[in-house]
């Protein structure tokens, strides 16, 4: 075997190993866990007021906001609300990144991706008991009208209150504001919009969204005392500052 063939053979053997190593280092393929389980989470049903009943005067605001949401579904804002339904760490980075004028991707900011992934999972643990306790019917179920995201509809999913999407969006927004305080206003404006998107598509009442924001603040405060969270936040801050210096 000549030298050229030996080199080609060597490359052929090493290339799959390199690709495998690259795949293993892909942060989006990692498995994540919440910072705590439901049993250790603040029980939001002990914090939140009960959602307004249909006969409650407060429900009129829910109804008017539902009508407002339907009225703008065909607009550019309505189209954005559909996109906002598919939240995940990658989408959070994309959506918030656009607002602050920085390309936030998993390959450039893996520590941020890890943090946001775990925050999203933590929200699911933190809001589960309240959703089960209040067992609230969603707007599209109440009015028997289609939403903007029919693929997500479930006639037996009575978990409208509080809004999990809003809980997660607000929580991630608060965390990102710590990482990038210079863009606090832009970040929290998006956090607010992500919650309102749930009203627009018809998946949540306004009171569900308002409660979700409160849940996000409670979860954020709870995490501040956890060393594991503090370490991840510190890594994300250092990573962000390092990338901004390039």
Catalytic positions are: 165, 198, 204, 208
Q: How many Å is the Cα radius of gyration of the chain?
A: 21
DSSP states of 97-130 as a string? HHHHT----TTT-HHHHHHHHHHHHHHHHHHHHH
**How many angstroms separate the CA atoms of 5 and 179, rounded?**
51
Q: Both tokens of residue 67?
A: 């009508």
* Of the candidates 128, 134, 118, the residue with the CA atom closest to the CA atom of residue 220: 118
The angle formed by the CA atoms of residues 78, 80 and 81, to the nearest 5 degrees, is: 65
């Amino acid at each position: 075997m000549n030298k050229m063939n030996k080199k080609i053979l060597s490359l052929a053997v090493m290339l799959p190993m390199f690709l495998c190593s690259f795949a293993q280092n892909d942060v989006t393929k990692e498995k994540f866990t919440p910072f705590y389980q439901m049993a250790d989470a603040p029980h939001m049903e002990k914090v939140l007021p009960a959602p307004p009943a249909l006969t409650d005067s407060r429900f009129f605001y829910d109804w008017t906001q539902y009508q407002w949401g339907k009225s703008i579904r065909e607009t550019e804002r309505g189209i954005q609300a559909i996109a906002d339904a598919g939240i995940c760490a990658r989408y959070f980075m994309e959506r918030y990144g656009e607002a602050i004028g920085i390309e936030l991707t998993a390959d450039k900011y893996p520590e941020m991706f890890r943090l946001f992934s775990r925050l999203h999972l933590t929200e699911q643990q933190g809001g589960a008991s309240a959703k089960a306790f209040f067992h609230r019917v969603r707007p599209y179920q109440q009015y028997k009208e289609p939403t903007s995201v029919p693929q997500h509809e479930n006639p037996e999913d009575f978990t409208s209150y509080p809004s999990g999407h809003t809980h997660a969006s607000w929580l991630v927004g608060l965390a990102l504001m710590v990482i990038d305080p210079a863009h606090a206003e832009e970040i929290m404006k998006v956090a607010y919009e992500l919650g309102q998107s749930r009203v627009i598509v018809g998946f949540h009442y306004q009171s569900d969204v308002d409660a979700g924001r409160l849940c996000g603040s409670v979860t954020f405060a709870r995490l501040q005392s956890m060393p594991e969270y503090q370490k991840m936040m510190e890594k994300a801050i250092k990573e962000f500052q390092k990338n901004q210096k390039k």
